[in-house]
Structure 1
Amino acid sequence: MSDDTQADAGTAEGQGPVEISEELARHLENKREELFEKFEIRDEFPAGVLEEAEDRTEDVGSEIDAEVDDRRDLRELTTWTTDPIDAQDFDDALSIEEREEEYVLWVHIADVTHYVHPESAMWEEAVERGNTVYLPGYTIHMLPPVLAETVCSLVPNEDRLAHTVEMHLDKEELTYEEIDIYKSVIRSDERLTYTQAENRLDDPDAPLHEENVLVYDLAEQMHEQRKADGSLVLNPARDRAHTIIEECMLKANKAVTHELMWSRGVEAMYRVHPQPSPDEWSEALQEIQELDGVSIPGEAWDDPRKAVNATLEEAPGRQLDKIQWAVMKVMPRARYMNDPFGGHHALNFEIYGHFTSPIRRLSDLINHWIVYKNEVPEDLVALCDRASDKQKDAEQCEREYKNFLQEVGLDPMAVNNRGIEIVDDEDAEKTLE
């Protein structure tokens, strides 16, 4: 076992599944069913959708071989994935090169729309569901899991169909010198967990060390640039591996929607986040300023987002949740719209949309189709509303389920991280003695 594998195993050492009784398991199941009915969340897939998914995931190798001539062949490009240790799908991968005057960053996304298109039953089901719903210890997928487990999982040492965003970035300004979005065939060299990625950054002799160092240096520059430009950063303590993934996905999402808006002039499913009113921002900052041990730097008051960023970096750890909550209370909900007018306030992006998670978000699936076909679904406005409403339902369902877990004495985070094991009632009593 390699050192980084040992490190990942160590994080779970002594942390087995959360054990619950059969009776409590029934209570959880009943609560889920109640919430699914309340929020119109469909748990089971129709038989026809599952059959279609099974049919589309047969004979993977032959189908990929037939596609190679019509795609960019990137199988020789060093490529890898980085995900949580318990990730259920590996739908995005990275490649990077440093050249004399530019960085070239490739973000490869599983080509879901090769298998799921507007004439398919899976597409219709994705519109019905809107997104994957993540409850602690229980997931309701937007698309049949067999897709994420096979053709749309960018597993190592297997050819996979991808939708690649190739970005040429100026070394000084990190602006897009060139954006190229195309269908590709890739072959991931390795699947890293976040802990492994952290270890690769520190071990000069490890595989992918140089690539991870390079992409982290770029990601850190992009992160600092975002903050300087006024992007709100509510989690200042994020580790290096998370920084890599977050910044690279943000850069790719932004690149795609800029390409659609400015180069192609077509509508897309944009992510629009309105700003709070001046009074609401003032209320939030006042609440933050009154917290014990917290002080907003004087020079930061003019821009509330920069004020929050600066305060989070200096505030005592015990106050971080309260600062974040003060901000979240005044933030309007972001929505999907066919016009980017208003931009994304929290990110401080004039134009933004989602592209990097088509296996779990309807918005990304739609944008993949628009990029590929260069045409917009007739019902784009209705699809935007559907995605927005289903996201709101998913968040509310998750919130109520977490509250219920706490009411019955379970820690939602422990359930989420470790899963659940049902033991018979007698054994459950012994564990409590």
Structure 2
Amino acid sequence: MTDTAADGETADDGTAESQGPVKITERLDEALADRREELFEEFGIADGFPPEVLAEAEARTEEVDEEIEAELDERQDLRDLTTWTTDPIDAQDFDDAISVRDEGDEYHLWVHIADVSHYVHPESEMWSEAVQRGNTVYLPGYTIHMLPPVLAETVCSLVPQEDRLAHTVEMRLDKETLSFEELDIYKSVVRSDERLTYTQCENRLEDPEAPLHEENALAYEIAEQLHEQRKEDGSLVLNPSRDRAHTIIEECMLKANKAVTHELMWERGVEAMYRVHPQPTPEQWDDALREIQELNGVSIPGGSWNDPRKAVNAAMEEAPGRALDKIQRAVLKVMPRAKYMNDPFGGHHALNFDIYGHFTSPIRRLSDLINHWIVHTNDVPEDLIALCDRASDRQKDAETAERLYKEHMEELGLDPYAVNNRGVEVVDDPAEATHEAPETLPD
């Protein structure tokens, strides 16, 4: 997958909140488990954690309140700032939260990220294990974590009504240009007021009397302007129908990621784990645009042909729903794979950012964890280039494993997207099952 949106920041469409789990038979569950084991072996994916890693994670969950209290002397206390998280309904950890204020001629936006590097550092067993894993692997209905859940889902998770250590990106944005009037990145202590799902966020936006309505409405006002500005600047948008809740999170995380990597490059001039996305050749873009133009009911406005990304955006906005997947496939077919590098030069073609990197998901991505460490210590790991290669390779392996697992599910008659959103429930009685394994299972 190329980084055409928030690089995988959000994926759930909220349908899980209105439908129950997909019910499958024990035989089908066993077939899925067998395929997972094959993929784990093929791609070197470790499902369980070594005992020493689990023991270290357990130890870091002890005396949490006392540790956070002691940290207040060295951090900004933001516990009185209205703060909330927005995630898929089945999210197991909450690593980002936002706060917003309207201050006349400026927007004031805070993006708070779980301070994972406080617990997971280069001298720890968990760091070494995270380097081996590279990222969390998401298969439909099954997750293989980068960090032990006992840590990731507790002290590293910005759960509501609990004090938590965070890394905050505080931004004052000019209302007209959305440029940074002020930017500060620092360690903090936050206290999330509420955990919202995407559907709950949409409901809050609809109800003026609901808690956090005004805050979410302001967040969407900012996010929509950021989104339109990105499109105007030539950022590729392959999901034009994304709802308001996803737009809020996507745009706020993109802005925070951009802020951090600009700080690292322009203000400090340090190496970091930058995200570089090469552009297709002119011939490849021509092939993609020709394929899109030939789709039934799709046309590319004449004025947008000078920039292929704008041409695709324009086609997506006018295309009938049945053509959207075909447009996406035509584009992704010619897109080079994004990769992590120790310098940002070459930029991020799909996003049309001159400098970009990851910071907002340290629970599930090695790149973000390492960038947290660099931002805080201004110390670059000696093996940074090897770490960049490792993160890039592991992401590719995870995406390939996910694709092959989804294909296997489809061969078994299962909809991987339904499973991804709703989860599965194994039932004893085949009559209760939504899906049953076919008579002959695929090889």
TM over 0.5: yes
Are the counterparts in 2 of residues 108 and 164 from structure 1 also a CA contact under 8 Å?
A: yes
* Residue correspondence of structure 1 range 179-218 to structure 2 within 5 A: 179-218=183-222
Distance 2:14 2:419 in 1: 18
Distance 1:22 1:218 in 2: 48
Describe the shift of the 1:430–1:371 C-alpha distance in structure 2 as closer, same or farther (beyond 3 A). closer
Distance 1:170 1:370 in 2: 28
Distance 2:334 2:14 in 1: 40
Q: How much does 1:22 deviate?
A: 2.1
Q: Could you say what secondary structure the match of 1:70 adopts?
A: coil
Q: Residue 149 of structure 1 is aligned with which of 153, 157, 163?
A: 153
Matched residue, 1:171: 175
Are the counterparts in 1 of residues 14 and 199 from structure 2 also a CA contact under 8 Å?
A: no
Q: How much does 1:249 deviate?
A: 0.1
Distance 2:245 2:34 in 1: 38
Distance 1:41 1:18 in 2: 25
Matched residue, 2:439: none
Describe the shift of the 1:9–1:195 C-alpha distance in structure 2 as closer, same or farther (beyond 3 A). closer
* Residue correspondence of structure 1 range 279-428 to structure 2 within 5 A: 279-424=283-428, 427-428=429-430
**Where does the alignment leave 5 or more consecutive residues of structure 2 unmatched?**
1-12, 437-443
Matched residue, 1:46: 50
Are the counterparts in 1 of residues 17 and 199 from structure 2 also a CA contact under 8 Å?
A: no
Distance 2:167 2:95 in 1: 10
* Residue correspondence of structure 1 range 245-260 to structure 2 within 5 A: 245-260=249-264
Identity of aligned residues (%): 77
Runs of 4+ in 1 over 3 A off after TM superposition: 8-13, 429-433
Describe the shift of the 1:430–1:374 C-alpha distance in structure 2 as closer, same or farther (beyond 3 A). closer
Matched residue, 1:93: 97
Are the counterparts in 2 of residues 19 and 428 from structure 1 also a CA contact under 8 Å?
A: no
Q: Could you say what secondary structure the match of 1:69 adopts?
A: coil
Q: Could you say what secondary structure the match of 1:152 adopts?
A: coil
The C-alpha deviation readout for 1:181-213, integer Å capped at 9, x for no partner, is 000001111111111111111211111111111
Describe the shift of the 1:9–1:116 C-alpha distance in structure 2 as closer, same or farther (beyond 3 A). closer
Q: Could you say what secondary structure the match of 1:375 adopts?
A: coil
Q: How much does 1:124 deviate?
A: 0.2
Matched residue, 2:70: 66
Higher relative contact order (CA 8 A, sep 6+): 2
Q: How much does 1:100 deviate?
A: 2.6
Q: How much does 1:10 deviate?
A: 8.8
In the alignment of these two chains, the number of paired residues is 423
TM-score, normalised to structure 1, is: 0.95
**Where does the alignment leave 5 or more consecutive residues of structure 1 unmatched?**
1-7
Distance 1:227 1:166 in 2: 24
Q: How much does 1:429 deviate?
A: 5.0
TM-score, normalised to structure 2, is: 0.93
Distance 1:322 1:360 in 2: 30
Q: Could you say what secondary structure the match of 1:409 adopts?
A: coil
Q: How much does 1:72 deviate?
A: 0.4
Matched residue, 1:34: 38
Are the counterparts in 1 of residues 166 and 189 from structure 2 also a CA contact under 8 Å?
A: yes
Distance 2:182 2:233 in 1: 21
Are the counterparts in 1 of residues 14 and 88 from structure 2 also a CA contact under 8 Å?
A: no
Q: How much does 1:19 deviate?
A: 2.2
Distance 1:346 1:383 in 2: 23
Q: CA RMSD in A?
A: 1.4
Q: Which amino acid aligns with 1:133?
A: V
Distance 1:429 1:206 in 2: 42
Distance 1:12 1:266 in 2: 44
Q: Could you say what secondary structure the match of 2:73 adopts?
A: helix
Matched residue, 2:25: 21
Q: Which has the higher helix share?
A: 1
Q: How much does 1:20 deviate?
A: 2.2
